[in-house]
Amino acid sequence: MNWEPWTGCYPVSTGCDNCYFYGPNAKRFGQNEITKTDKFDWPIRRNKKGEYCIKGGKILATCFATDFFLPEADLWRKEAWAMIKERQDIDFLIITKRIDRFKESLPEDWGDGYDNVNIGCTVETQALADQRLPLFLSYPLKRRFIAASPLLEELDLSPYLAKVDHVTVCGENGRDGRLCEYTWIEKIQKQCQAAGKTFWFKSTGTRFRTQEEVVKVNPFKQGALAKSFQLDITDGKRLF
């Protein structure tokens, strides 16, 4: 399930160049005005019986079509945090490329983190990993993971894995999706295995190099192809 309290976004790094929501070939290209959506209060919205419309026990992907830490959303984020705190029976999953704005965007009662918030820091290249992840690991968080998405080159995440719970990897989707290579995925999986962390190869992306050739993968088959390589490390946990 997805919760989009606001919409609109704009590029912040190379991983945004072919964004599947706002990139040059996407339906929302040019929609860089940040506005509230009609689902802003969705997590606490109730039906006629007074029950929450969203039942407990769910994982709610939050701001997957924008960024939770956009400066334009600063005035609304306090309300969003209050709703997240109210719904302790829901796990909120937040992925961001703007981890540098994390500390200034926290609620006053954050402490060492909310139990029901899992923050993912996106990295696309080694330079961005080395820039963002030290910041990410310095912040107070109870649950954190790395999202190597879209993966644009070989990464060494091993220096950062001790303080994270999980790693997800995706290739780049879209007509102009850049190449993702199987060997890059395999190396990250081995790094997670050595560190005792869960790992999910979520999707191959559009252009994927196997050990033998470059293939163009239908967007509806990218997840299934990724799963077929059997690289996931679940340790009995529910992956995102």
Using one digit for the tens of pLDDT, what is the confidence trace for 193-217? 999 999 999 999 999 999 789 999 9
Lowest mean pLDDT among 107-111, 139-143, 175-179, 185-189: 175-179
DSSP the chain: -EE-SEE-----SGGGTT-TTTSTTSTTTT----EE-TTTTGGG-B-TTS-BSSPTT-EEEESTTS-TT-GGGHHHHHHHHHHHHH-TTSEEEEEES-GGGTGGG--TT-TT--TTEEEEEEE-SHHHHHHHHHHHHHS--SSEEEEETT--S----GGGGGG-SEEEEE---STTPPPEEHHHHHHHHHHHHHHT-EEEEEE--SEEE-SS-EEE--TTTHHHHHHHT---B-TTPPP-
Burial of 51 (C-beta count, 10 Å sphere; 0-12/13-18/19+): exposed
φ, ψ dihedrals at 167, nearest 5°: -135, 130
For residue 95, give the nearest of 67, 124, 73 by alpha carbon.
67
What is the pLDDT at residue 221?
96
Left, alpha or beta for 203 (phi > 0: left; psi -120 to 50: alpha)?
beta
Quick check: 26 pLDDT over 70?
no
pTM over 0.85: yes
Of 25 and 50, the structure prediction assigns the larger pLDDT to 50
Task: Provide the pLDDT for residue 23.
Answer: 66
| Percent above pLDDT 70 for the chain | 97
